[in-house]
Amino acid sequence: MDDETWTSDEFGASHQGRVGVLLADGSTPKPVYFDGSSSTGHYVAHWSVYDGGTWPDRARAAVMRAECVCGWAGAVHTVDWAGFGDLPFREAGTEDADRCMNDWDGHIADVARRTIPLPPELETLLESVPAPRSRTWPATRRSPR
């Protein structure tokens, strides 16, 4: 399962969001490694894998929150493990995951309100700047003597 992310048309990858989890001690868990049937496995950081399972050993989420690559983090939503009954976390946690997405939508709306559009002349000028060229010489250069 790949990590589910959100983007907006206007801000693209600069404000990519996702559901993040925190453990009871406030730390962020590491991605979980799942060993596949082939010679390679894969790491998963989707919120639903942090259910405290034992194969493979997985941390147990205490809270869920929206996160954005810009550094913003939303309100915490406490995971109600007792209220889930027999439902697996991937099903019981969807309501909190939806709340996280709504929080991120609010963040994007706030970013949009504070964004100042560039004047068309400046936008045209920026589009005319050539892309940086890659260096073909060694990183260490000698100064002339």
Amino acid identity at 54 = T
For the chain, what are the domain ranges?
5-116
Both structure tokens of 96: 């909190």
What are φ and ψ of residue 74, in 5° steps?
A: -85, -175
Give per-residue pLDDT as tens, 69-96: 999 999 999 999 999 999 999 999 999 9
Structure confidence by residue, pLDDT tens digits, 106-118: 999 999 999 988 8
Distance CA 16, CA 1 (A): 18
Among 42, 38, 17, CA closest to 103:
17
Question: 54 by DSSP, 3-state: which?
Answer: strand
pTM for the whole thing? 0.78
Distance, CA of 74 to CA of 136 (rounded, Å): 44
Phi then psi for residue 20, to 5 deg, are: -110, 160
